[in-house]
């Protein structure tokens, strides 16, 4: 079992690598080889008996992935992407990385006749937008209101078509907002959702820029990685006529997230959250849908978090 991962140096890629190594097998076959691809060489945890190859390359360069695909990986995780704010700031960059590189990856699979290779791409809640119903489901149209979402939605169509034609065995998982991310706050509009929990738990101050009534659709990093792994194991014939769907996140308001923080770490932790409304961030986050019926993912055996307390507890357990 040879697994290749683009974006392997990223937060999600790194967690996936760790978990694959810990698991040691996929589809009941021993993992013998991991190929980690990113712009910089991805850090390698102790791989045990697994041959790990970490390659620094630009996936937008012509033929960049040819040598990897020639090794006929059984599973490819395509996590490399330009994030939403960067794709919005630079249309060409977003098209090149988020769309063209995905198309080149599909073409590479086609050239190598990797018809049985499971190609798993991460898509996003950002692919939804516009005049949405209160509760979205697997048949809700993608009317993205940002270039990142548009590019991901185009990739979904392409991966589905290549899979339908039998050129590759594709799957696209739309990720909810991931909470709690490790690290520091960043420019992403969703950054606060991790920050208002992570910083107080670490004894630091954080800013909440949105009204606490705001609902969000979230999933813990652990459950997202579980879903990526499960995505490699779902049989092709179960995927049905469209191979992209939303993962089973949970809907929580910011108030519920803060109440879970108080329960886990007390009033003192809660007091570290300053409320400073930022209408710009509120406008972006409020445009993301927060309620989904994720029937397809659940039917296929994808599992979300039970409640927000579990998400906080997992973060605390992982941090200590």
- Residues that contact its own copies, how many (by CB under 8 A): 27
| Cβ pair 146, 131 in contact under 8 A | no
| CA-atom Rg of the chain in angstroms | 19
Return the closest-CA partner of residue 273 out of 254, 290, 287: 254
Determine if 145 is a binding residue for its own copies (CB under 8 A).
Answer: yes
* The binder of its own copies chosen from 13, 108, 144, 176 (CB under 8 A): 144
Note if 77 is an active site residue.
Answer: no
Q: Which of residues 52-71 bind its own copies (CB under 8 A)?
A: none
Determine if 129 is a binding residue for its own copies (CB under 8 A).
Answer: yes
- Name the segment binding its own copies (CB under 8 A); options: 51-59, 236-244, 253-261, 300-308: 236-244
Residue 202 backbone dihedrals phi, psi, to 5 degrees: -90, 5
User: Could you give the CA distance from residue 99 to residue 107 in angstroms, rounded to a whole number?
Assistant: 12
Determine if 176 is a binding residue for its own copies (CB under 8 A).
Answer: no
* The binder of its own copies chosen from 130, 183, 211, 277 (CB under 8 A): 130
CB of 88 to its own copies, least distance (A): 9
The position carrying tokens 């296929």 is: 300
Determine if 90 is a binding residue for its own copies (CB under 8 A).
Answer: no
If the CB atoms of residues 53 and 60 are measured against its own copies, the closer one turns out to be 60
Determine if 102 is a binding residue for its own copies (CB under 8 A).
Answer: no
State which H helix or E strand residue 42 sits in: none
| Cβ pair 86, 94 in contact under 8 A | yes
CB of 304 to its own copies, least distance (A): 21
Determine if 134 is a binding residue for its own copies (CB under 8 A).
Answer: no
Cα dist from 302 to 239, 246, 279, 305, 315, whole Å: 12, 10, 35, 10, 20
Secondary structure, 3-state, 3-29: EEEECCCCHHHHHHHHHHHHHCEECCE
77, 128, 148, 162: the active-site residue: 148
CB of 140 to its own copies, least distance (A): 6
Tell me which residues are annotated as active site.
148
Binding site for its own copies (CB under 8 A): 91, 129-133, 138-145, 147, 150, 153-154, 157-158, 160-161, 164-165, 240-242
């Amino acid at each position: 079992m040879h697994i290749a991962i683009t974006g392997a140096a990223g937060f999600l890629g790194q967690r996936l690598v760790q978990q694959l190594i810990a698991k040691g097998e996929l589809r009941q076959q021993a993992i013998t080889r991991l190929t980690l691809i990113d712009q910089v060489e991805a850090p390698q945890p102790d791989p045990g008996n697994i041959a790990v190859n970490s390659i620094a390359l630009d996936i937008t360069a012509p033929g960049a992935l040819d040598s990897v695909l020639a090794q006929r990986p059984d599973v490819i995780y395509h996590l490399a992407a330009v994030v939403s704010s960067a794709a919005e700031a630079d249309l060409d960059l977003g098209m090149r990385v988020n769309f063209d590189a995905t198309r080149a990856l599909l073409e590479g699979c086609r050239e190598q006749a990797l018809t049985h290779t499971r190609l798993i791409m991460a898509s996003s809640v950002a692919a939804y937008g516009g005049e949405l119903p209160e509760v979205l489901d697997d048949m809700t149209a993608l009317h993205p209101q940002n270039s990142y979402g548009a590019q991901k939605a185009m990739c979904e169509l392409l991966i589905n078509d290549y899979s339908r034609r039998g050129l590759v065995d594709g799957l696209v998982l739309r990720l909810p907002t991931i909470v709690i991310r490790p690290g520091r706050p960043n420019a992403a509009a969703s950054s606060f959702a991790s920050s208002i929990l992570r910083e107080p738990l670490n004894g630091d101050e954080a800013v909440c820029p949105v009204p606490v009534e705001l609902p969000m659709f979230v999933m813990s990093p652990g459950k997202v990685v579980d879903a990526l792994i499960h995505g490699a194991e779902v049989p092709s014939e179960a995927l049905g006529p469209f191979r992209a769907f939303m993962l089973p996140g949970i809907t929580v308001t910011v108030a519920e997230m803060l109440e879970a923080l108080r329960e886990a770490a007390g009033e003192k932790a809660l007091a570290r959250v300053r409320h400073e409304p930022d209408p710009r961030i509120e406008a972006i986050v409020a445009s993301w849908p927060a309620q989904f019926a994720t029937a397809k993912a659940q039917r296929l055996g994808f599992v979300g978090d039970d409640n927000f307390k579990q998400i906080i507890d997992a973060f605390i357990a992982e941090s200590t």
